[in-house]
Amino acid sequence: MKRICALFLGLILLLSALSSCAARPEKHYSDKISVSSSDAENCAVWLTDRLGESLRDRVYISVGDGAGLDMSSFENDGYILKRDGDGIFIAAKTSVGADIAMRKYANAVDLGKGTDFNITYHEGYRIKKLTLAGRDISEYTVVYPESDPELRSSANSYMQYAAADLQRLIAKACGANLALVCGESDASPRIELRRSEELGLHGYRYFFEGDSLIIEGGSEDGCLNGIYRFLENECGWESLSGGESLLHEAEHIDVPADTEDSAIPTFDYFRMANSAVFEDFETDRSVSTHPYGIISYANHSDLIEGNPSVQICYTNENKFMNVCDNVEAFIRLWVSAGLTVGKDLLDINLGQSDNGYYCHCADCMKVIKEEGSVSGVVIRWMNALAKDMEERDPEYAKLKYKCFAYFGSQIPCTTHPAENVWVTFAMDWCCVKHTLTGGDCRNRFPVRAVTEQPTICNDDFARWVREWCDMSDNIYIWFYTLECHLQRFSVFDILYDNVRYFRDCGVKGLMWEHDDSGFGFMRLDFQLVYELIWNTDMTRGEFDALKDHLFEREYGDGYTYILEYIDILQQAQLRSDVCWDSWAWEDYNGYGYAKPNGYYMRDDEYYADNFDLSAELLERAVTLAGSARQEDRAKRMTVHMYYEGCYSSYFRALDEGNAAEIGKIKERYSLMIDRIIEAYKNKGTPRYLGYIGEDDVTVFSLSEVKFPKTIEEMSESWARDYLPKGRR
């Protein structure tokens, strides 16, 4: 670095000479900018376009080693950004780093901030010196236990992963290559990994014994969670355990000898399901910590023979015995493959088919009447099956037998599930505008399979969750917050309260189905829920601060403009006089729009009134993005805003005969289409995201929905099926 600084003035003179060379071809950037290469020239064009007349400094841009700089010690996104008098010097290893540096400078000029930069970013190791209890990290040995034959193979693998990943991440952070020892060791000082039954499957605890760091973990991935949380909490490595990881730079970090922390996640099982993920998280960990849990939620079982569109008769003895035979054959198949019941083979899925057509024979109806719920006939059947399997082989009592409370069977029955019968409560059609416990949910929804009449609201769902949890310690939740393609709604306000409510009820596992077409902010929802399940006691203020911080990391300097837009979106939701259920999307027959229960999820007039402001806010966020990736995310964020704004405003402009407004709306709709196409092309148009057609684009989430390239054709679909409220 000293050599680079010494070359600084010489490099400025060199670049100035190069840029003034008479043989140089025509430039497409400001005369105030000097460059060292074609990559740097592309940066110069961008900077010229971005700042225009606001560019008053001399700027010198070098990318790679072309100007005699040795940038080999920098990471690919590393750079130097430095002021010298009236000159700004940018040097980067690659165009990625140059882009970030340029944007940092341009945003400072744009926002009227100071530009007296002296930044060296991502050169060498992120942490220059790391000490534990005052001793240099290089003195430590990582010690971990040998495999335990009583544990599942995955548990032993997690311990090995934990030791290896700790070694790898420490080396990446500060360059120290720690020795690994498996088994007993008298190494001192050491970082020792231990198993602890007190921490369940996934919990962790870390503390010091003398100058040795001890990381204890639950029997499955506890130590793995412990090392990730240690590096997050004590070494400044953000979101290493879940989300987009980032290790901050530091000259010296010392972890004091009185440092300690422990946590057990709220749920034994967690999964955030996405049907179409547009952008994977970039993470430094080598082992996934999500989904976690050794027993998953119930799903639709193929062990139950019959028509998948109709539930079986749960009182038919022959059908019951057939299923028991299927289950036994399934178990024996896996045992013959080498699995051990109760160790590697833990559960049997017997979830109902995906429909609400329960048997209405006299015997089934009698049980349902006695139990007071459709769920009664299912739970009695499950209890009988678990008992029958135990009678066939006592080892089968170690298995968990899983079913649903779903599609009309959500309402708890009288009979309690047996200890090894686990129930997944699927919150199909719950309201996702309001929290479960706020008491604000007033509109009614039908319970499919029981009635098509609107009879329930979130108060009912909340009561049923608690009643199921009072009946059994083995209740999972399958929670739906399903998106609707380009119609977007915010669930930030319900995440916090609902997760805490599930915790308070004693829910054992959580499957959060949160489908994502990529044109919104669901990546942030995932990270917020993941942090909540590890720290459900965080205050509302802490949750909001975490949300704001994640927005800043996701979108850069313009994140406050996006947060202001989110407020508009949430206000439009709150001003609507209706609730909407978790299936707030349509339609399979034509072009896409949201149509929840015949109403709209927003106050369209309010959204239209704030359309100009929303566009201004989000375009400002695009401009202020701190990197090309952040700009891409910000552009994708604008897509749903333009769609919803055009939808809310177009017919009003037609009614008013406002030609100028109609023209502006058309331009915004075209920009929306262009950005969908741009996003798809950036990803190589993977088929799981959608398609670019000649006349339309197709967006995929839970279904494929076409969006024509002209608003005139789109408006025909809106007008044919469902105009904004009051405009028929």
Confidence tier at 16 by pLDDT (50, 70, 90):
low
Confidence tier at 724 by pLDDT (50, 70, 90):
low
- pLDDT attached to residue 270: 95
- pLDDT attached to residue 594: 43
- pLDDT attached to residue 25: 54
Distances (CA, A) of 606 to 104, 576, 615, 659: 35, 9, 14, 21
Confidence tier at 577 by pLDDT (50, 70, 90):
confident
Cβ within 8 Å of residue 194, ≥6 positions away: 145, 214, 215, 216, 217, 223
Confidence tier at 444 by pLDDT (50, 70, 90):
confident
Distance CA 529, CA 362 (A): 45
pLDDT digits (tens, 9 = 90+) for 155-203: 999 999 999 999 999 999 999 999 999 999 999 999 999 999 999 999 9
Region 672-690 average pLDDT: 85
**Least confident piece of the model among 197-211, 288-302, 381-395:** 288-302
Q: Give me the DSSP letters along 129-149.
A: -EEETTEEGGG-EEEEPPP-T
**Least confident piece of the model among 176-185, 570-579, 595-604:** 595-604
- pLDDT attached to residue 488: 80
Distance CA 291, CA 436 (A): 24
What burial class does residue 459 get, using C-beta atoms within 10 Å of its C-beta: 0-12 exposed, 13-18 middle, 19+ buried? middle
Q: Is the peptide bond before 265 cis (omega within 30 degrees of 0)?
A: no
Look-up: residue for tokens 């262009």? Answer: 674
**Least confident piece of the model among 59-68, 203-212, 566-575, 585-594:** 585-594
Confidence tier at 8 by pLDDT (50, 70, 90):
low
What rounded mean pLDDT belongs to the chain?
90
C-beta pairs of 658-665 under 8 Å, 24+ apart in sequence? 665/711
Contact 261, 282 (CB under 8 A): no
The answer on pLDDT for 726 being more than 50 is no
pLDDT digits (tens, 9 = 90+) for 223-238: 999 999 999 999 999 9
Bigger pLDDT: 139 or 446? 139
Bigger pLDDT: 428 or 684? 428
Q: How many C-alpha atoms does 633 have within 13 Å on its Cβ side?
A: 25
Region 71-76 average pLDDT: 94
Give per-residue burial for 196-211: e unless 16+ CB within 10 Å, then b.
beebebbbbbbebeee
Percent of the chain at pLDDT above 90? 73
Distance CA 223, CA 159 (A): 7
Parallel, antiparallel, or unpaired for β 204-209 and 261-263? antiparallel
Confidence tier at 10 by pLDDT (50, 70, 90):
low
Residue 424 sits at φ, ψ, to 5 deg, of -100, 110
Bigger pLDDT: 612 or 482? 612
pLDDT digits (tens, 9 = 90+) for 86-126: 899 999 999 999 999 999 999 999 999 999 999 999 999 99
- pLDDT attached to residue 291: 81
Which residues does residue 419 pair with via DSSP β-bridges, in sequence order?
none
Bigger pLDDT: 523 or 661? 661
Contact 400, 327 (CB under 8 A): no
Residue 698: CB atoms within 10 A of its CB come to 18
Which amino acid, 708? P
Distance CA 595, CA 705 (A): 14
Q: What six digits make up the tokens of 249?
A: 């730079």
The answer on pLDDT for 7 being more than 80 is no
CA angle, residues 53, 54, 57, in degrees to nearest 5: 105
The answer on pLDDT for 150 being more than 80 is yes
Parallel, antiparallel, or unpaired for β 690-692 and 696-700? antiparallel
Region 331-347 average pLDDT: 96
Confidence tier at 570 by pLDDT (50, 70, 90):
very high
Residue 429 sits at φ, ψ, to 5 deg, of 75, 15
Bigger pLDDT: 601 or 248? 248
